[in-house]
Amino acid sequence: MKRILTLLLLTVAISISSNAQVKKRTPAPQPKAPTAAQILHENLLEATQRVLIVDSIVVAKDSFLSYIPLPPECGKIEPTEFGYQFTNEFGDRMLYSIADTAGNARIYTKSKEGDEWGKRQFVESLGEPSNYPFLMSDGITLYFSHKGEGSLGGYDIFITRYDAEDNTYLKAQNIGYPFNSNANDYMYVVDEVDTLGWFVTDRRQPEGRVCVYTFVPPLSRENLSIETEGLSTVRSRAALTSIADTWDGHYVELALAERRLKQMKEREYKPVKVNTFSFIINDDITYTSEDDFKVVENKTRLDQLKEMQQMLVKSEKELEDARVKYHNANRFDRSALGAEILKAEKELQQLRLDIASMNRRIRNDEIRAINN
């Protein structure tokens, strides 16, 4: 009996040992493969550009162009009913976006042939959705924003160059950190006259607000080094957590840039002899003069439209000033200011709807007149 009990205990011990060995042999779970976005982030982080940020301001998204004092020598950027439009200094080349009902935009281009604009062309190589085009004065280098393949999240700023031989643009490249983020990064503009640049982002901003950064465009690209400056420093600079950190002791360069920025805001530019009037009728017809209108009543409506647009600019500025005042007010004054801001926002929204309605009315009347 004692011998049998010993054998049973030995069998149980062997079984337990065997189960333990089986458990030990169970392979550990393999780490998940990094996503395309994670790989892109790591690659771009290692190439974070060293940039001197001069200033920043948080504004309403629909009025950020008012805070980019671009001189006419660098072209003209303006919002349209359908998106954003860039016209070069000479007024003979245009890049503009048209958004569909879902808000997805495409970028088109037009060139002037004599006194008439040629047929628009979809810039297919930029992909879609793409928006916010800005063409450098060389007529070759194009900055724009794209959402989708190759972006960190939302819209990212990309760069491409025009290939005259193929009459198209080369494959665009993400310009990386600190200009881009996992939020939406929009317009990128460079003023080669004053050596200043701007880019717009909604990172760390509430709905409907963006931050406009002013920076000094470097003469040549210089990247931060993770090895010498540390991963945490590079991550902070990539995310633009502190403007002061970008100065790196270059206080003389910063002071000169601030002076140039102040002079830009104060000086009055001499008008250039460029026909900047543009009114899109349809995909194939754009009026470049008020004399192009076929319907007599539309000339009066056009004057009304100009007044409404001027009122829009003024109202947007007043609303922005009110928001700044609200931000700096004490809690007792904020109640009254908040009510004024809400009222102004509703009036501004109605004004935008009225402008859109007037645009459609003029355009539809002209289309009927052309077809008849």
Q: Note the pLDDT tens digit of each residue in 152-198.
A: 989 999 999 998 888 889 999 999 999 999 999 999 999 998 999 99
Q: What is the pLDDT of residues 139-153, one digit of tens each?
A: 999 999 999 888 998
The single-letter code of the amino acid at 359 is N
- pLDDT at 165 (0 to 100): 83
Judged against a pLDDT cut of 80, whether residue 254 lies above it is answered with yes
308 pLDDT band, cuts 50/70/90, is confident
| DSSP one-letter string for 239-297 | HT--SGGGTTT-HHHHHHHHHHHHHHHHSPPPPPS-----EE-SSS-EE-SGGG--SHH
Higher pLDDT, 124 or 14: 124
Q: Does residue 259 or residue 270 have the better pLDDT?
A: 259
Percent of the chain with pLDDT over 90: 44
pLDDT-based confidence at 270, cuts 50/70/90? Answer: very low
In this prediction, residue 319 carries a pLDDT of 79
DSSP state of 172: P
pLDDT at 3: 54
pLDDT of the residue at 271:
44
Query: Can you give the pLDDT at residue 16?
Result: 52
The mean pLDDT value for 37-47 works out to 87
Tell whether the model's pLDDT for residue 18 goes beyond 60: no
pLDDT over 70 at 52, yes or no: yes
Return the ∠ at Cα 322 (arms to 188 and 216), rounded to 5°.
25
- How would residue 273 be classed by pLDDT, with cut points 50, 70 and 90? very low
Looking at residue 152, the DSSP 8-state letter turns out to be S
The pLDDT of residue 174: 95
Place of tokens 């007529």: 139
Out of 78-87, 108-117, 318-327, pick the least confident: 318-327
Which of 49-53, 294-298, 352-356 reaches the highest mean pLDDT?
A: 49-53
Q: Would you state the pLDDT for residue 198?
A: 97
Contact in structure between 238 and 177 (CB atoms under 8 Å) = yes
Residue 280, pLDDT score: 82
- Split at pLDDT 50, 70, 90, the class of 26 is low
Q: Distance between CA 68 and CA 71 in Å, rounded?
A: 9
CA dihedral for 210, 66, 48, 228, sign (positive or negative): negative
pLDDT band at 11 (very low <50, low <70, confident <90, very high): low
Main-chain dihedrals φ then ψ at residue 187, nearest 5 degrees: -65, 135
Looking at every residue in the chain, the average pLDDT score rounds to: 85
